Structure 1
Amino acid sequence: MDPLWLLIALILGFASQQLRLPPLVGFLCAGFALHALGIEGGDALQKFADLGVTLLLFTIGLKLRLRNLLAPEVWGTASAHMVLLIVIITGLLLIPGLIGIAWLGSMDWQAAAVVAFALSFSSTVFAVKILEDRGEMKARHGQIAIGILIIQDIIAVVFLTLATDKSPTLWAIALLGLPFLRPLLNHFMERSGHGEVLVLFGMFMAIGGGELFELVGMKADLGALIIGIMLSGQRKSGELSRALLSFKDLFLIGFFLSIGINALPTMSDILIAVALVLFVLPLKTALFFLILARFRLRVRTAYLSTASLANYSEFGLIVAAVGAGAGWIDQQWVMIIAIALSFSFVIGSIVNARAHSLYASIESYLHRFETEEPPANYVKPDLGDAEIIVVGMGRVGSGAYLAMRGHYGDKVCGIDADSDKVASHQKSGHQVILGDAENIDFWHDVDISKVRLIMLAMPSLKDMQQAVKFLKDADYKGRIAAVAKYDDDRIKLEEAGVHASFNFYAEAGAGFAEHVSQQLDGKESNISVKS
C-alpha cells in the first residue's frame, strides 16, 4: 500500500477519533480526499480491501452460532424486509417516470427492481465493525443483526452466481466432504500454540478456504465464511479470532478507502444519492424496526439491531455493478449507490457512536411499538439475595466472580449478555444470569435495592460509562468498581462516578505476587532469597 494512502488515512482517522467519531468515518473521507488529489486505487488497494473482507467473514464464521440463523426473528425479518422494501422502492423509483422526470423516467419496472434489490442489503463490514468496537457481537441484538446480514449475504451470493452465468463446477460437490476434515483442522488449531503459528494458521484457512471455493466456481467470501463456521465452537476459536483482529482491522482500511477513491460523481449523482439517504434509508430503517418489534423482541433489542442495519451495503454495490454489466440498469446507478453507501456509513457511524444515549432519550416513544404480549424468550432478571454483582463474565469478570464468591458465597451474582457464557457458568453451579448492563430497561426490571457493590468488567470503556449512567438513573446507592486497560481510562471512569478502578495490566504483577505468596505461605516457609 502506498505510504501516502496510509498517511492520509492516519491523519483523517486520527481526526475522527479526536471528534469522538469512529475512525472509519475518517477512512471514508480519506478515500474521497485521495480521489480529489487524482490518486487511483488500482489492483493493490483492491486486493488489500478484498483480504480485509475475507478475514472479516472468516472471523464472523468463527463466532457464528448456526442456530441463530434459524430463529424466526432472524430469517423472518431478513426475508420479509427484503421483499417489502423491494416492492416499496420499485414503486418509488417508477413514480418520477409517471410525472415526466426525464432521466429516471427511462426506467422500466425490471430496472427499478434491480436497483431496489441492491438497496435492500445492509453492510456486513460496517455492522461488524460497529458491534466489535462496542463489544456487542455476542449480545442478543448483535447476534440478531449478524444473523440477518448472513442471510442477506447468502441471497447475494446466490444472485451473483445466477446473474454472472458462472455455475459451480462438478468439483463443487467435493466441498460436501469438508465437514469430515473438521477434526483434523481442529487438531492443527489446538497444536498451533498462541503466537505467530496460530495467526498463520488463521490466515491460511481464511485465504485458502476462499481460493478453494473460487477454484470450483463459487464466491471466495462464501468459502471464508464456511471455513470459519467449521472451526467455530472450539476451545481456541475465540483466541484465533482475537489473534486476527488487528490484521482484519488493518486490511479493512483498504476497503473503506476503496469506497471513496474510485468515485467520480456528477451533481445529479450526488443529488439522487442524497435523496436515497434522506428518504429511502429512513424508510428502510423504520421497516427493520417495525418487523423486529412484531417478532416480540424487547424494543431496545429491536432498536439496537436496527441501528446496526441502517445503511447500504458493499454487496448491494456489487449487485448493481453486475446489473449494469448485464445491461439491466444504467451504469450511472453504480456511482449513485456508491455515493449513497458512503453517506450512509458516515451517518451510521455518528448515530451508532451515540446509540445507547439516543435510546435513553427516545425510550418512552419507542415503547409504543412493543407488542402487548411478553417479549420472546424474556425472563425477568432475579438477583436472589445477592449483595455483590459482577457485570461481564469474561476472563477478568469470571476471575473476579470466583474470588468474591470464595469470600461471600451466594451473596455474589454474575451478569452477562452472552447466553452461551451464562449457560456455561450455570452448568458449573455459578449464580450467573442473562442481562445487558447497557440496557436501561434491565436496570428498571431488576431489584438492586439490596446490592452494596457492582463490579464492572465489560470489554469497552464506553459500555462501562453508559452502565454507570444507567445505575445513577436507577437511583443506585451502593459502590461501583471497574476494570480499565489504561490509566487514562481509569480517570474517565472515576469522572463518570466509579468509586474504585483497577488497571489489570499495571496491577497484574501485584496480584500474581500476592497469589503466589498465599500459595506458598506455610508450605515452604524455609524459602530464602540469596543476595
Structure 2
Amino acid sequence: MDYLFLLFAFICGLSVKLIGIPPLVGFLIAGFVLNGLGYAMTDQLQQIADLGITIMLFCIGLKLNVKDLSKREVWLCSTGHMLIWIGVISVALYGIATLFSSFMGILSFPSAMLIAFALSFSSTVCVFKVLEESGEAKTRHGKVAIGILVMQDVFAVLFLVAATGKLPSVWAFALLAIIPLLPLLNKLIDRSGHGELLPLTGVVFALGGYHLFELVNIKGDFGALLMGIMLAKHAKATELSKSLLSFKDLFLIGFFLSIGLTALPDFGMVMAAVILCVFIIIKLVLFFGLFAVLKLRVRTNYLTSLIMSNFSEFGLIIGALAVSQGFLEPRWLVILALAVSFSFVITSISYRSSHAFYLDIKSYIMRFERKERLPGDLYPVVSQAEFLVIGMGRVGLGAFNSLHSLAGDRVWGMDADQSKIRMLKEQGLNVICGDGEDIDLWQNIDISGVKLILLALPSIEDATNITQQLKFCGFKGKIAAIARYEDEVPALLQQGVDKVFNFFTEAGLGFAEESLAYVNTMYEQPDTQ
C-alpha cells in the first residue's frame, strides 16, 4: 500500500511539474485525493514523514551559524512578530467566528488565541525546501529566514513543554557531555570518506540527536537540529548536507502526503481554511513592517517576508495537542491541515516569480527603506575588475584560479555565502559577498570595466535570473554559464547567455588536454643517462 502511495505521489508530482508548478504541490494534492478515495495514514508512511523532517532539521543545523541567531533582525523580529500576530489574529478570528459560525463553528476567545498561536509559525519544511531549490539558503534573506525559523522552533518546544506538563528529565543536563565529544564526532566524519558511508553517518548523527533528546523528554527534532548546529563548523558540513539531499527529499514526500491524509474535509472546513489563508497577507505585511523598522534593505525585507508568509507543520502539532486536551473541536485539526496545505501552495508558486515581481514593485516599496545600513546590507566594492566569477563553489573556484593565473588581480569572485567569502579573503583572493539575483546590487556596484562574467551556478534558474538582471542594468560585456545537462544549453542561450559550457563535457576535455600535455612533457625531457 505504501508503494501505491508513493507511485501516486510521483504521478501527481510529475503532472504539476510539467505545467510549471513545484512538485510538492502535487504531493499535497495526492494526499487529499487518496484521502477522498478512502485511504488512511499508515504507520510506515508516518515513520517516513517523521524521518524526513528529522533529517531536514539536521541539514538546516549544518548550514546554520549560531551568530546569525544573535542578530537583532532575527530574534527581535521573531519575538515581536509572534506577539503582535497573536494579538491581532485572535481578535480577528473571534470576530469572524461570531459572524460566520456556520463555517468557523463556535469559538471562545482562548481558543481563538490558541489557533492564532498555531498559525504564527512559518513552515520550516516549505521555506527550507523552496530556498534550497532556488539555491538561496545562504543568501542574506535566506539566512534571516532560517534564523527566524529556528527561533520559532524554540518557541514551539517551550510551548509543548508547558502545555503537556512534560518537563525535561534531570538527565537532560547530561546532554552537555556531547560538547567534549565533538572532536570524536568530527573525526568520525573525517573517517567516513566521501562515498556511501558519508550519508549514513549523517543519518546516524541526526537520529542519534533525535533519540538522545527524546530520552530526556525534550522534542527529538530539536535534538537533530542542535546536532547539526554543533557539526556546522566541520570542513565537510556542506558535503555532508549535500549527501543527505536525496534521502531528505524522498522522505519528505511522506510528510506532504501525510498532511492530505490527516482527515477528509467538508465544504465548511474548506471555506474556514480559505479564510485563514487570507491572514497570510497580514503575516506578510507584519513581517515587512518589522523588517523595515529594523532597517533591513528593502529587497532583503521583501524576499524574507514573502517566503515566511505561510503556516507551519508545527501548527498541526499544536492543533493536535489542543484537540486531545479538549481545547479545540476535532474539526479544527482538519481546518489547520487544509490551511497549512494551501499556504504551501501559495508560497511555492509565488516565490518562483518573486525576483521578477520585485522589479515591478520596487519603485513603490523603496519608500520603506531606511537610509541607515545594517552591516549585512552594505554593498561591496570591486576595483579594476575585468573578469567576475559568480558562484565560488568547486567549479567557480577552479575557474577563478585558472583565470587568475592568466589575468592576475583583474579577476574577482562573488558568492552569497558570507562564511565562504570570509575564508577566501583570508587566502588573499579578490572576492565579494553578494547575491547575483539582486538587481539593487548590480545598480550600486561599478562593473563598467568587466568584460566577462562567468556564472558557475548549479541552477539554470539562477543563471537565467542573473542574466536578466545584468541585461536590465545595461551590462555590455559577455556572459558565460555552466550547464550540467545538454538540454540546459539551448535554454541558457535563448535567455541571452553568450557562451554555455557543458560541465561534464568540458571537464572531460580539460582532463584529456592536461593529461596529453603531461605526457608530452615527459617525452620532451632530455635523456640524462
TM-score bracket, normalised by the shorter chain, equals over 0.9
Q: Cα distance, 1:266 vs. partner?
A: 2.0
Task: Tell me, in whole angstroms, the C-alpha distance in 2 between the residues paired with 1:465 and 1:22.
Answer: 18
Q: Could you say what secondary structure the match of 2:370 adopts?
A: coil
Query: Which of 131-140 and 317-326 deviates more?
Result: 317-326
User: 1:196-220 deviations in whole A, cap 9, x for unaligned?
Assistant: 2112111111112211111111111
2:85: which partner in 1?
Answer: 85
1:508: which partner in 2?
Answer: 507
Alignment of 1:371-520 (within 5 A): 371-520=370-519
Task: Tell me, in whole angstroms, the C-alpha distance in 2 between the residues paired with 1:266 and 1:21.
Answer: 26
2:293: which partner in 1?
Answer: 294
Q: Could you say what secondary structure the match of 1:506 adopts?
A: helix
1:39: which partner in 2?
Answer: 39
User: 1:224-259 deviations in whole A, cap 9, x for unaligned?
Assistant: 111111211111111111111100000000000111
Q: Could you say what secondary structure the match of 1:393 adopts?
A: coil
The residue type paired with residue 173 of structure 1 is F
Task: Tell me, in whole angstroms, the C-alpha distance in 1 between the residues paired with 2:148 and 2:388.
Answer: 33
1:318: which partner in 2?
Answer: 317
Contact 2:467 2:496 in 1 (8 A): yes
1:115: which partner in 2?
Answer: 115
Q: Cα distance, 1:524 vs. partner?
A: 4.5
Task: Tell me, in whole angstroms, the C-alpha distance in 1 between the residues paired with 2:344 and 2:514.
Answer: 48
The residue type paired with residue 303 of structure 1 is Y
Task: Tell me, in whole angstroms, the C-alpha distance in 2 between the residues paired with 1:395 and 1:124.
Answer: 28
Task: Tell me, in whole angstroms, the C-alpha distance in 2 between the residues paired with 1:102 and 1:354.
Answer: 37
Q: Could you say what secondary structure the match of 2:412 adopts?
A: strand
Q: Cα distance, 1:102 vs. partner?
A: 7.0
The residue type paired with residue 158 of structure 1 is L
Q: Cα distance, 1:522 vs. partner?
A: 3.2
The residue type paired with residue 152 of structure 2 is Q
TM normalised by structure 2 equals 0.96
Q: Cα distance, 1:450 vs. partner?
A: 1.3
Q: CA RMSD in A?
A: 1.7
Task: Tell me, in whole angstroms, the C-alpha distance in 2 between the residues paired with 1:270 and 1:56.
Answer: 29
Contact 1:128 1:146 in 2 (8 A): yes
The residue type paired with residue 41 of structure 2 is G
Task: Tell me, in whole angstroms, the C-alpha distance in 2 between the residues paired with 1:212 and 1:438.
Answer: 41
1:161: which partner in 2?
Answer: 161
Q: Cα distance, 1:191 vs. partner?
A: 0.5
The residue type paired with residue 289 of structure 1 is F
The residue type paired with residue 164 of structure 2 is T
The residue type paired with residue 44 of structure 2 is A
Task: Tell me, in whole angstroms, the C-alpha distance in 2 between the residues paired with 1:161 and 1:422.
Answer: 40
User: 1:488-526 deviations in whole A, cap 9, x for unaligned?
Assistant: 111111111111111112221111122234445534436
Cα 1:502–1:324 change in 2 (3 A) is same
Contact 1:96 1:105 in 2 (8 A): no
Cα 1:293–1:516 change in 2 (3 A) is farther
Identity of aligned residues (%): 47
Task: Tell me, in whole angstroms, the C-alpha distance in 1 between the residues paired with 2:58 and 2:147.
Answer: 15
Cα 1:400–1:4 change in 2 (3 A) is same
Task: Tell me, in whole angstroms, the C-alpha distance in 2 between the residues paired with 1:200 and 1:449.
Answer: 48
Q: Cα distance, 1:172 vs. partner?
A: 1.3
Contact 2:103 2:269 in 1 (8 A): no
Cα 1:155–1:407 change in 2 (3 A) is same
Task: Tell me, in whole angstroms, the C-alpha distance in 2 between the residues paired with 1:444 and 1:100.
Answer: 49
Cα 1:103–1:249 change in 2 (3 A) is closer
User: 1:442-479 deviations in whole A, cap 9, x for unaligned?
Assistant: 11111122111111112211011001111111111111
User: 1:291-329 deviations in whole A, cap 9, x for unaligned?
Assistant: 112211111111111122111000011111111212222
The residue type paired with residue 505 of structure 1 is F
**Is 1:12 the equivalent of 2:12?**
yes
Contact 1:263 1:339 in 2 (8 A): no
Contact 1:389 1:415 in 2 (8 A): yes
Contact 1:124 1:313 in 2 (8 A): yes
Contact 1:389 1:451 in 2 (8 A): yes
Q: Cα distance, 1:402 vs. partner?
A: 0.9
Task: Tell me, in whole angstroms, the C-alpha distance in 2 between the residues paired with 1:103 and 1:258.
Answer: 24
User: 1:17-39 deviations in whole A, cap 9, x for unaligned?
Assistant: 11111110111111111112111
2:250: which partner in 1?
Answer: 250
Query: Which of 136-145 and 512-521 deviates more?
Result: 512-521
Q: Cα distance, 1:348 vs. partner?
A: 1.1
Q: Cα distance, 1:99 vs. partner?
A: 5.4
2:196: which partner in 1?
Answer: 196
Contact 2:16 2:25 in 1 (8 A): yes
Query: Which of 242-251 and 232-241 deviates more?
Result: 232-241
The residue type paired with residue 414 of structure 1 is G
Task: Tell me, in whole angstroms, the C-alpha distance in 1 between the residues paired with 2:62 and 2:103.
Answer: 46
Q: Cα distance, 1:262 vs. partner?
A: 2.0
2:206: which partner in 1?
Answer: 206
Contact 2:442 2:470 in 1 (8 A): yes
2:178: which partner in 1?
Answer: 178
Task: Tell me, in whole angstroms, the C-alpha distance in 1 between the residues paired with 2:128 and 2:341.
Answer: 16
User: 1:381-440 deviations in whole A, cap 9, x for unaligned?
Assistant: 322011111111111111111110110111111111111111111111110011111011
Query: Which of 369-378 and 206-215 deviates more?
Result: 369-378
The residue type paired with residue 365 of structure 2 is L
Q: Could you say what secondary structure the match of 2:153 adopts?
A: helix
Instruction: Name stretches of at least 5 consecutive residues in structure 1 with no aligned partner.
Output: none
Query: Which of 120-129 and 216-225 deviates more?
Result: 216-225
2:236: which partner in 1?
Answer: 236
Query: Which of 510-519 and 386-395 deviates more?
Result: 510-519
Query: Which of 376-385 and 77-86 deviates more?
Result: 376-385
Task: Tell me, in whole angstroms, the C-alpha distance in 1 between the residues paired with 2:287 and 2:72.
Answer: 14
The residue type paired with residue 186 of structure 1 is N
Cα 1:83–1:201 change in 2 (3 A) is same
Q: Could you say what secondary structure the match of 1:502 adopts?
A: strand
Task: Tell me, in whole angstroms, the C-alpha distance in 1 between the residues paired with 2:100 and 2:517.
Answer: 84
Task: Tell me, in whole angstroms, the C-alpha distance in 2 between the residues paired with 1:521 and 1:380.
Answer: 48
Contact 2:453 2:477 in 1 (8 A): yes
The residue type paired with residue 259 of structure 1 is I
Query: Which of 191-200 and 150-159 deviates more?
Result: 191-200
Task: Tell me, in whole angstroms, the C-alpha distance in 1 between the residues paired with 2:41 and 2:256.
Answer: 11
User: 1:138-178 deviations in whole A, cap 9, x for unaligned?
Assistant: 11100000000000011101111221122222221111111
Contact 1:134 1:460 in 2 (8 A): yes
